[in-house]
Amino acid sequence: MHVTLIAFLVAVVASTPVLRGSGRDLDYAAQLRRVLGNFVPPDFSVLGATLASLLETVQIAVMATLIAILMALPFSIAASRNLAPFWLVAVTRLLANLIRTIPSLVWALVAVAIVGTNPLAGVIGLAFYSLGYLAKFYSDAFESVDAKVAEGLQAMGAGRIQAFQHGLWPHAQPLVWSHSLWMLEYNIRAASIIGYVGAGGIGVQLHTYYEFGHWSRVSTVLLCLLVVVTTLDILGEKVRATILSSTK
Amino acid sequence: MILNHGTTARVELRVQGLGLRRGNQWLFRDMTWSAPAGTLLAVKGPSGAGKSSLLAVLANTLASDEGHVYCPDASPGTHHRPENCRCRVGIVFQDFRLVPNGSVLHNVLCGRLGWYPWWRTLAGFPRQDRAEALDLVQRLGLRSFADRPAGGVSGGEQQRTAVARAVFQRPDILLADEPVSNLDGPSAESVMDLLAQTARDLNCVVVCALHQEDLIRRYADAILTLGSSRWQFQD
The pLDDT assigned to A247 comes to 56
A147 touches chain B (CB under 8 A): no
One DSSP character per residue, A100-138 reads: HHS-HHHHHHHHHHHH-SSHHHHHHHHHHHHHHHHHHHH
pLDDT confidence tier of residue B85, bands split at 50, 70 and 90: low
Q: How far is A221 from chain B (nearest CA, A)?
A: 44
Task: Give domain limits for chain A.
Answer: 47-247
Q: How many other C-beta atoms are found inside a 10 Å radius of the C-beta of residue A77?
A: 18
Q: Distance between CA atoms of B56 and A13, rounded to whole angstroms?
A: 60
The pLDDT assigned to B196 comes to 86
Q: How far is A155 from chain B (nearest CA, A)?
A: 6
pLDDT confidence tier of residue A145, bands split at 50, 70 and 90: confident
A93-103 average pLDDT score: 91
Model pLDDT for residues B160-194, shown as the tens digit of each residue: 899 899 889 888 888 998 888 877 888 888 888 88
The pLDDT assigned to B47 comes to 84
pLDDT confidence tier of residue A94, bands split at 50, 70 and 90: very high
Q: Which of A151, A156, A176, A247 to mutate to test the interface with B (most CBs of B within 10 A)?
A: A156
The pLDDT assigned to A130 comes to 94
Q: How far is A82 from chain B (nearest CA, A)?
A: 17
Nearest-Cα residue of chain A relative to residue B172: A156
Mean pLDDT, all residues of chain A? 88
Q: Distance between CA atoms of B205 and B218, rounded to whole angstroms?
A: 17
Q: Distance between CA atoms of A65 and A63, rounded to whole angstroms?
A: 5
| Sheet architecture: strand order including B13-22 | B25-35, B13-22, B66-70
Q: How many other C-beta atoms are found inside a 10 Å radius of the C-beta of residue B11?
A: 16
Q: Least CB-CB distance to A161: which of B93, B118, B166?
A: B118
**pTM for this entry:** 0.73
B212-224 average pLDDT score: 88
* Cis preceding linkage at A41, omega within 30: yes
* CB–CB contact A152 B91 (8 Å): yes
Dihedral class, residue A4 (left if φ above 0, else alpha if ψ from -120 to 50, else beta):
alpha
Is residue B102 within 8 Å of residue A174, measured between CB atoms? no
| Sheet architecture: strand order including B230-234 | B89-92, B173-177, B205-209, B40-44, B222-227, B230-234
The pLDDT assigned to B17 comes to 87
The pLDDT assigned to B71 comes to 67
pLDDT confidence tier of residue B15, bands split at 50, 70 and 90: confident
Asked if CATH classification 1.10.3720.10 holds for the domain at A47-247, the reply, yes or no, is: yes
- DSSP conformational letter for A197: G
A125 touches chain B (CB under 8 A): no
Mean pLDDT, all residues of chain B? 81
* CB–CB contact A156 B106 (8 Å): no
Closest CA to B26 of B227, B233, B234: B227
Q: Distance between CA atoms of A171 and A92, rounded to whole angstroms?
A: 23
* CB–CB contact B100 A171 (8 Å): yes
Q: Which chain A residues are within 8 Å of B113, Cβ to Cβ? A: 153, 156-159, 162-163, 166
Strand boundaries in B6-72, DSSP class E: 13-22, 25-35, 40-44, 66-70
The pLDDT assigned to A203 comes to 84
Is residue B190 within 8 Å of residue B182, measured between CB atoms? no
Model pLDDT for residues A7-46, shown as the tens digit of each residue: 999 999 999 988 887 777 778 888 888 888 888 888 888 8
A162 touches chain B (CB under 8 A): yes
* CB–CB contact A171 B101 (8 Å): yes
The pLDDT assigned to A140 comes to 92
- In sequence order, which ranges of chain B are alpha helices (DSSP H)? 51-58, 82-85, 104-109, 127-139, 155-168, 185-201, 213-219
Q: How far is B235 from chain A (nearest CA, A)?
A: 28
Q: How far is A160 from chain B (nearest CA, A)?
A: 8
B102-124 average pLDDT score: 88
Highest mean pLDDT among A138-142, A202-206, B200-204: A138-142
Nearest-Cα residue of chain A relative to residue B107: A166
Q: Which chain B residues are within 8 Å of A166, Cβ to Cβ? A: 99, 102, 106, 110, 113, 121
Contacts of B66 (CB under 8 A, 6+ apart): B17, B18, B19, B29
Is residue B225 within 8 Å of residue B53, measured between CB atoms? no
Q: Which of B87, B94, B110, B163 to mutate to test the interface with A (most CBs of A within 10 A)?
A: B110
